[in-house]
């Protein structure tokens, strides 16, 4: 989850090496298990973008391909990319199981390997937000979208349950490199407007999706084995520190336990829809 460091004048920074490590981290676990539990986000952004047969669609930071698959089911001509080769291989397998034709590739959201104005629709569901250079990422999203084309992003609300979750995990990680953007800032309308407002006419939709109705320990089993950042963090800790992370994790979910005993976390998110100027 830690974003790579920016290059600075007067020295060479291991920017590409760090992004490579980030790709390995996200690909270290079967993320499709987690993706299954945020299906409402994927459904929402695809519904807002209203895919049409034959449209050229790019999904950036596709993960295991959830948005790409939904767009392809509607007849769009879909290209999908991700920083992690392992996630791309999983996405290829899942699309093939449905008989869907999607062009998958490994690519950096900050340097997309596509021609200017080459897509009718560009999307990213909690994917491109993790690229460290927000300005460069926004520039790439705008560059590959044709005039009049549509952009759709789903990002987590930093003031909601997921923002709290990331801060809880972040207490156990090294601090991010100086100058790296905070992924959760993509969940703030004003931040997105500052990045994309010149290139797109924007509108915003706020919504929430509840955590699955699991016990706290069931959530731990899912996230600690299938969410790459948490699985990777666990691998770096000794037994005592891992138990500390476990305690904090369980306490987080207990804070969302209702009177009926069920976990009721709202998982607030922001959908950004843009029309390319």
115-173 pLDDT per residue, tens? 999 999 999 999 999 999 999 999 999 999 999 999 999 999 999 999 999 999 999 98
Name the pLDDT band for 62 (thresholds 50, 70, 90): very high
Domain spans, the chain: 15-276
* Superfamily of segment(s) 15-276: Vaccinia Virus protein VP39 (3.40.50.150)
Q: How far apart are CA 201 and CA 196, in angstroms?
A: 8
pLDDT above 60 for 3:
no
pLDDT tier, 258 (very low <50, low <70, confident <90, very high otherwise):
confident
Q: What is the pLDDT of residue 17?
A: 66
Residues 65-90: tens digit of each pLDDT? 999 999 999 999 999 999 999 999 99
Whether the Cβ atoms of residue 114 and residue 79 lie closer than 8 Å to each other: yes
The CA-to-CA distance between both ends of the chain, in Å, stands at 32
């Amino acid at each position: 989850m830690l974003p790579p460091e920016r290059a600075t004048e007067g020295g060479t920074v291991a920017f590409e090496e760090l992004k490579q490590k980030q790709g390995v981290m996200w690909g270290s676990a079967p993320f499709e298990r987690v993706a299954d539990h945020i299906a409402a986000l994927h459904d929402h952004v695809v519904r807002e973008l209203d895919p049409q047969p034959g449209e050229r669609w790019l999904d950036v930071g596709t993960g295991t391909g959830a948005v790409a698959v939904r767009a392809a089911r509607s007849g769009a001509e879909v290209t999908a990319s991700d920083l992690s080769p392992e996630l791309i291989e999983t996405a290829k397998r899942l699309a093939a199981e449905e008989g869907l034709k999607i062009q998958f590739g490994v690519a950096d959201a900050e340097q997309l390997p596509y021609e200017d104005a080459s897509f009718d629709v560009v999307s990213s569901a909690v994917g491109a937000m993790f690229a460290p250079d927000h300005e460069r990422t926004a520039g790439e999203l705008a560059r590959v979208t044709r005039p009049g084309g549509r952009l759709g992003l789903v990002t987590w609300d930093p003031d909601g349950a997921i923002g709290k979750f990331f801060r809880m995990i972040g207490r156990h990680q090294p601090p991010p490199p100086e100058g790296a953007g905070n992924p959760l800032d993509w969940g703030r309308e004003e931040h997105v407007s500052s990045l994309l407002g010149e290139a797109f006419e924007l509108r915003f939709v706020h919504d929430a999706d509840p955590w699955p109705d699991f016990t706290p320990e069931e959530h731990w089993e899912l996230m600690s084995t299938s969410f790459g950042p948490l699985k990777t963090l666990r691998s770096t800790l000794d037994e005592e520190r891992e138990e500390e992370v476990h305690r904090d994790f369980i306490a987080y979910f207990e804070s969302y336990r209702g009177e009926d005993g069920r976990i009721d976390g709202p998982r607030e998110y922001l959908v950004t829809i843009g029309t390319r100027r």
